[in-house]
Amino acid sequence: MKGTILSIAPDANIIDITNEVPAQDVMGAAHILAGVVPFFPVGTVHLVVVDPGVGTDRRGIALSINGQHFVGPDNGLFSLLVNRRQPDRIVELDCEQFWLTQAPSSTFHGRDIFAPVAAHLATGRSLDDVGSRIDDLSTMHWALPITDRQGIQGWVVHVDAFGNCITNISRETFEAIRERRAFKCYAGNAILDRMANTYAQAQPGDDLMLFNSEDALELAINRGNASEMLDIRKGTSVNIVFLDDRQTDGDV
Amino acid sequence: MKGTILSIAPDANIIDITNEVPAQDVMGAAHILAGVVPFFPVGTVHLVVVDPGVGTDRRGIALSINGQHFVGPDNGLFSLLVNRRQPDRIVELDCEQFWLTQAPSSTFHGRDIFAPVAAHLATGRSLDDVGSRIDDLSTMHWALPITDRQGIQGWVVHVDAFGNCITNISRETFEAIRERRAFKCYAGNAILDRMANTYAQAQPGDDLMLFNSEDALELAINRGNASEMLDIRKGTSVNIVFLDDRQTDGDV
Amino acid sequence: MKGTILSIAPDANIIDITNEVPAQDVMGAAHILAGVVPFFPVGTVHLVVVDPGVGTDRRGIALSINGQHFVGPDNGLFSLLVNRRQPDRIVELDCEQFWLTQAPSSTFHGRDIFAPVAAHLATGRSLDDVGSRIDDLSTMHWALPITDRQGIQGWVVHVDAFGNCITNISRETFEAIRERRAFKCYAGNAILDRMANTYAQAQPGDDLMLFNSEDALELAINRGNASEMLDIRKGTSVNIVFLDDRQTDGDV
């Protein structure tokens, strides 16, 4: 993919966000993408290829949000992004003259379609040059947790390299429902009830919950691997129950 | 190595193809290299260091093929490349003034010899500046499978991050011998007889064979890890037997 | 972090040294850093974030040594560097206008403080712009081995991807104490007494000691994984005893 990009856009500054997304993990990639986008400058072209359906009839798309471009398969990768902010424009990639070849490989559209389209966008082409307008894209229901006044049911969307377990529960959702009540959070083999601002507020080896640097609820163990120690994996459900009879003054 | 390059060629655009080649895996690196080269532009300098013999008398070389340069140890890394296309020029790296030091470390020629030579080539030096012409380089017999009319014996040269098993059997070799006959492919604990164009043509969990994006025969499991499930590793032999009495209309 | 940098310094040439430092491994990161610094050009800004204490009151610092800048938490990451050469200047990062936000996340100062400060240094800001002068920084006692005339007690500070075990014992320290005596080196389940210049001087599968490309003593097995085969991990002590009654003519 990098070779394809440099062949079209020799001056492109190519940045690897990560090459460590587990195979087929659309949900994890969607999470990582949504987390990093706010920190990139206007004009960035994000090339996102986690593509279990490559070679099927799933569409290839490009979209723009807030001056940044995104290119990849239409399989839900952009679900979290578009939940936060409506795209300004979406196109289906149907202009073959911007592909590497009119006969793309059936197993590697990243190299043959998405990378060349991204490179052309980087050199100044517009979305309308590379595809035809469409109105919507695929989104995934896992993007949002289930909530009522008693509690929140979410799940783990990503386990990072430290074993920290990031959920799909945002600080905003949590605070709106909590209303300063005490709570219990059931996940894996643990019941967590402590909120912290930072890992080091817990003793080494103790579990904690915090809102991470993207304001997503995270389950962690100070200087330990929460995923292994609490038996929590990507997809594990996280159930938070609020306790009506116990008010808290706010733990953090 | 990157520090060495930037000290000599501050404007070099350094791209990581991969830092994930297993230790000592010359065969795997040769495969990856041959796969990516066609997609890089003329003028690219490929720095390739998988170097189990560092500090012995194996030569350091540079070569050019089709307007691209290659620098690394002469241990077979370039076998697959030169099978496909004869180098335009090969030199042995014997001009110490282009090294980082006249007394290179005996364990890290990548940093002390290959990276500085690659950087000098990137700034416009020619092969003849950095070494003396030689006529040939080391090639490895594993580069090509054994064939006769009844079948093909190849082996797995690379297992990718998804567990897909890439063989040294090219589409061209396979089709030339097959002549539309049905076949059985023995590898690991499996007998495969299905050819597909794309992973998704098999049911999730089913095995399949396909020609990958470099036209090499690949053994895979749709949404599964073929290496683990079929007990196939790098080096595992892959035996294809063609069945004379069963014609097929072509499965894909 | 890369997005933050490019938002401030669009022309920055961002190089990944490694993203493979194990979680919380300050000692390993300090070793890698000290090894690569001599090969980078003057003007390089090194952004080093291994930060188990993020969100506590550990300081954020920047320093300059020999025309290169360093930014990161003050937790010992720079111990090996400053053992070798005194910093020209050290500042505590207290100028919030150079941070991404005046309310940085409590879990990711890499993105919110260190990356933006590094980017501002890359665009030409001075250390005095981004912080207030301080006189010293945290250093770690593990940086140096314990020595007397009979021997050296060091430990393994890093295990590389090949399983080679790099110690905190420098060639200079070893040679100064050895005085050409024979020796035995106790580490893990092995007693090593062979010094080599290069891996290939030992038979495949045999252990050896050598000074690596950073002149640190390394325990290795030719074409094998010393860490696994000798049961040596990061932190394992390495005891070298010199034998007074046995002179050697020098083994390498």
Is the pLDDT score of A246 beyond 70? no
Task: Using a CB–CB cutoff of 8 Å, tell me whether C66 touches chain A.
Answer: no
Please state, in angstroms and rounded to a whole number, the distance separating the CA atoms of residues B164 and B11. 37
Q: How far is C18 from chain A (nearest CA, A)?
A: 12
Question: Taking CB atoms and an 8 Å cutoff, what residues of chain B touch C200?
Answer: 52-56
* Residue A113 touches partner B, C-beta closer than 8 Å: no
CA pair distance B47, B54, nearest whole angstrom: 15
Q: What pLDDT shows up at residue A97?
A: 96
- pLDDT: is C60 or C199 the higher one? C60
**3-state DSSP helix/strand/coil percent for chain B, to nearest 5?**
25, 30, 45
Is B201 close to A55, i.e. CB distance below 8 A? Answer: yes
| Residues within 8 A of B (CB atoms), C 146-175 only | 161-163
Which pLDDT belongs to residue C158?
Answer: 87
Residue B213 has its nearest CB partner, among A3, A53, A107, at: A107
CA dist list (Å): A70 to A43, A82, B44, C187: 10, 11, 27, 52
Instruction: Kindly list the partner chains of chain B, i.e. chains with 3 or more CB atom pairs below 8 Å.
Output: A, C
Q: Which residues of B touch A111 (CB under 8 A)?
A: 39, 213
Choice among A70-79, A211-220, C63-72, C240-249 with the minimum mean pLDDT: C240-249
Computed over every residue of chain B, the mean pLDDT equals: 91
The residue whose two tokens read 């990276």 is B115
Residues 44-63 of B with CB under 8 A from C: 52-56
Whether residue B198 lies within 8 A of chain A, CB to CB, comes out as: yes
Q: Is B4 within 8 Å of C39 when comparing Cβ atoms?
A: yes
Q: Would you state the pLDDT for residue B248?
A: 60
Share of residues in chain B with pLDDT > 90 (%): 68
Q: Give the mean pLDDT of A175-179.
A: 92
CA distance A171 to chain C (A): 13
Q: What pLDDT, on the 0 to 100 scale, is given for residue C252?
A: 45
**Residue C30, token pair as written in the block:** 């300090």
More confident residue, A170 or A144: A170
Render pLDDT for B13-59 as a digit per residue (tens, 0 to 9): 999 999 888 878 898 899 889 889 999 999 999 999 999 888 888 99
At A105 the pLDDT is: 87
Residues from chain B contacting residue A100 (CB–CB below 8 Å): 39
| pLDDT at site B246 | 62
Share of chain A above pLDDT 70, in %: 96
Angle, alpha carbons C215-C221-C222 (nearest 5°): 95
Q: Chain C contacts of A199, Cβ < 8 Å? A: 52, 54-55, 107
A225 min Cα distance to partner chain C (Å): 9
| Each residue's pLDDT tens digit, C2-34 | 999 999 999 999 999 998 888 788 988 998 898
Residue whose C-alpha is closest to residue C120's, from C128, C111, C130: C130
Is the Cβ pair A56, B200 closer than 8 Å? yes
pLDDT in tens, B106-163: 889 999 999 999 999 999 999 999 999 999 999 887 678 899 999 999 999 889 888 9
Q: Please report residues of A whose CB lies closer than 8 A to that of B213.
A: 105, 107-108, 111-112
- What confidence score (pLDDT) does residue B96 get? 96
Of the ranges A139-148, A180-189, B87-96, B158-167, the best mean pLDDT one:
B87-96
Q: Does C123 touch chain A (CB under 8 A)?
A: no
CB-based contact A55 B197, cutoff 8 Å: yes
Minimal CA separation from A195 to chain C, in Å: 13
Strand ordering across the sheet containing A68-73: A45-47, A68-73, A60-65, A89-92, A132-133
Question: Which residue shows structure tokens 């129950």?
Answer: A241
Q: List all chains that touch chain C, counting a touch as 3 or more CB pairs closer than 8 Å.
A: A, B
For B215-227, what is the mean pLDDT? 93
Q: What confidence tens digit (pLDDT) does each residue in C240-249 have? A: 999 986 666 5
Say yes or no for a CB contact (<8 Å) between C213 and B7.
no
**B215 and B172 in contact (C-beta within 8 Å)?**
yes
Look up the ipTM and state it.
0.80
How big is the A-C interface in CB pairs under 8 Å?
Answer: 57
**pLDDT band per the 50, 70, 90 thresholds, residue B247:** low
pLDDT at C56: 85
Question: What CA dihedral angle connects B68, B73, B79 and B82, to 10 degrees?
Answer: 30
**CA–CA gap between residue A38 and residue C203 (Å, rounded):** 54
pLDDT higher for A250 or A7?
A7
A231-244 tens-digit pLDDT? 999 889 999 999 98
Poorest-pLDDT segment among B45-54, B210-219, C141-150:
C141-150
When pLDDT is cut at 50, 70 and 90, the band that residue C144 belongs to is confident
